[in-house]
Copies of this chain bind each other. A is one copy, B any other.
Amino acid sequence: MTQNHPSIAEVASLVGNPARANILTALLDGQALTAGELAYVAQVSPQTASGHLGKLAQARLLTVAKQGRHCYYRLASPLIGRMLEGIMAVAADGPPRYRPAWRGDEALKELRTCYDHLAGRLAVALADALAARRHILLTADGGIVTAEGTDFLARFGLDMERVGQGKRAFCRPCLDWSERRPHLAGAIGAALAHRCFETGWVARLPDTRALSLSPAGRAGFAEVFGLHPD
């Protein structure tokens, strides 16, 4: 049996470099960043980052868009984000010695974006709350939205017709690497996050994937979902 999966090793080794891993995780929220910004987050010189970006683009993990003298890089497809989530889930599960002291921002643990949906303590609590009220049902492999859940989310402002492309809404668990419990991803997760931005409950912060929670958002999460941040 000479199976040989060279491409698997090639893809994985691209991610298996600290600088490139930092670049990819920085792009995990779907935004496009310039080469310079990525060099900064990767903590390497611009010329080193340029080399990494070239490799990632050649392997089709990133796409590049030139705008003026800036080069905007973004993940080539949601598939890449899905792969990174999978690796992060394993990494978070790994031997404790690799992550004894969490050097990241506390705000990042509380609430952040994960590709196109919400992650962090609050997002996990949100998934828990929805599950507890039987609005959604989650397992390790998938999830469904109940009829009551569909009504509830529609009242919250989600266009459930569009989300489900018909009348069905699919949801998917995504293992949260800081909480190590699943939060809500998939079409529902994305729509929910979008609605939270739309209402001004949460907003993006510059230079980080962490999100800020507005007073209205704090009150809203408490009222609508029974959550009490911090």
Binding site for B on A (CB under 8 A): 1-18, 20-22, 25-26, 41, 43, 58-61, 77-80, 82-95, 98-99, 103-105, 108, 137, 139-144, 165, 168, 170-172, 175, 185-187, 207-209
Taking a contact as CB atoms under 8 Å apart, the answer to whether A170 and B141 are in contact is: yes
Most B CB within 10 A of own CB, among A9, A84, A93: A9
Whether the pair A1, B41 counts as a contact (CB closer than 8 A) is: yes
Decide if B139 touches A142 in the complex (CB within 8 Å): no
Contacts of A172 in B (CB 8 A): 141-142
Q: Contacts A18-B9, A59-B95, A83-B89 hold; do A3 and B143 have CB atoms under 8 A apart? A: no
Chain copies in complex? 2
| Chain B positions within 8 Å of A95 at CB level | 58-60
CA distance A144 to B6 in the complex (A): 34
The CA of A215 and the CA of B109, in the complex, are separated in Å by 55
- Cβ 8 A contact of A7, one of B99, B139, B165: B99
From residue A84, how far is it (CB to closest CB) to chain B in Å? 8
Contact at A141–B89, with CB atoms within 8 Å?
Answer: no
A103 to chain B, nearest CB (A): 6
**A9 with B26: CB separation less than 8 A:** no
CA distance A89 to B185 in the complex (A): 19
List the B residue with the shortest CB-CB distance to A138: B170
